[in-house]
Amino acid sequence: MQKVESSSSAPSEPGITLPASISGKGTPWIFLGLIALAAILAPTVLGRYGMTIGITLLYSAYLASAWNVVAGYAGQLSLAHGAFFGVGAYASVYFYTQWGISPWIGMVFGALISGAIAAGLGAVSFRYKLTGAYFAIATLAFAEILRVLINSSQYLGQGSGLVINLQEPGWWIMQFNDPKYFYFIFLTMMIGILFVMRWLSRSRFGYRLAAIRESEIVAESLGINPRREKLLAFVLSAILVAPAGSVYSQFLLFVDPPTFLGLTVAVAIILPALVGGTGTILGPLIGAVVLVGVTELLSHFALRPGISLFAYGMILILSVLLMPRGIWPTLHDAWVRRRAKK
């Protein structure tokens, strides 16, 4: 036991590529505290436009983080997350516009519906051992079917979607006359999901997912039931994604298929995680900072329309070529190696 005590500092704390810096030991708490403080104070400094960028940033980071739970940790590349996001949005907007139910309550229902759909889709997919590209295709097919169904559903406004009427602002109906409130809602959600991923990076559940991602045969030999754990991760991830759809639809005051459903939405959810680094706590957030930052810069400096999209594509390709594992793991490893040399 003595041995165990003395050497417990040797293994880097858990997490797939989890940096020592976030695992508790040697955590730059001051640094993180400063970032949190800056995030909290941002609304007092930034104007409306800045707030909109802040919202885009936080909600992109949140969505990518939620996807990261099933894709990064469990290694199951879901393309259904655009659909789960839409389910959250449609549920809260429909409940509110039809029955006047608060979007907060609609949000909870949206998350539950999203989770239930994921449970069904996951149960079938994992039952038939659809992994890798096959799982991606199955989830994509599901998302497309849902998009087509909603697109032709009269109850849900078909292609033009549903519009939320402006009311006297208030928390209960999630309508505000200042975007900073949405900023704070997304900030809270983002901090919450960072804790979820931190838990995943050190808990038994997280390690089971990592084992499954690396080898299902080995995982089984260690008493892990891959089907069950993958299903749990998929459902958890779907439950986490949906509320962002509810809040975002309140921010936009509408919901429609192009904005909330389909492959483009799924890709937008995934990109920050891929660029920042999947299977890590901070990767999706860092990816979102980079992507939103690049988009903003380009929209200011691009001379002709279309150039910014082109440049955006080039930056994506370069980042994936130069840092295939993502920005965060690559930088983190370089940093650790430099420290090891000292």
Partner 1 sequence: MIELEHVSKSFGGVKAVRDVNLIIDHEKILGLIGCNGAGKTTLFNLIAGQFPATSGRILFDGEDVTALPAYDRAKLGIARTFQIPQPLMKLSLFENVLVGAFMRTADRDEAGAAAMAVLDQTGLVDKADLYAGELTTPDLKRLEVARALATGPQVLLLDEVMAGLRPAEVDAAMEMCRTIQKSGVTIVLVEHVMYAVMNLCEHVVVLDQGSIIADDTPENIAADSRVIDIYLGREHANDEAA
Q: Give contact residues for partner 1 (rule: CB under 8 A).
A: 1, 3-4, 7-8, 10-12, 14, 16-17, 202-204, 207-208, 210-211, 213-215, 217-226, 279
Q: Nearest approach, Cβ of 90 to partner 1 (angstroms)?
A: 37
Q: Nearest approach, Cβ of 164 to partner 1 (angstroms)?
A: 44
Q: Nearest approach, Cβ of 325 to partner 1 (angstroms)?
A: 9
H helix and E strand count, the chain:
15, 2
Beta bridge partners of 145: none
Given the complex with partner 1, which of 2 and 177 has the nearer CB atom? 2
Given the complex with partner 1, which of 18 and 87 has the nearer CB atom? 18
Given the complex with partner 1, which of 180 and 230 has the nearer CB atom? 230
| Cβ 118 vs Cβ 152: under 8 Å | no
Question: CA neighbours within 13 Å on the CB side: how many for 275?
Answer: 27
Say whether 116 sits in a helix, a strand or coil: helix
Given the complex with partner 1, which of 84 and 207 has the nearer CB atom? 207
> CB 46: neighbour CB atoms within 10 A?
16
Contacts 24+ apart (CB under 8 A), 125-130: 126/226, 126/227, 126/230, 126/231, 126/234, 127/227
| Cβ 161 vs Cβ 254: under 8 Å | yes
Q: Nearest approach, Cβ of 32 to partner 1 (angstroms)?
A: 22
Given the complex with partner 1, which of 202 and 315 has the nearer CB atom? 202
| Cβ 263 vs Cβ 80: under 8 Å | no
Given the complex with partner 1, which of 14 and 50 has the nearer CB atom? 14
Q: Nearest approach, Cβ of 222 to partner 1 (angstroms)?
A: 5
Q: Nearest approach, Cβ of 107 to partner 1 (angstroms)?
A: 30
H-helix or E-strand spanning residue 162: strand 162-163
Structure tokens at 132: 């890798």
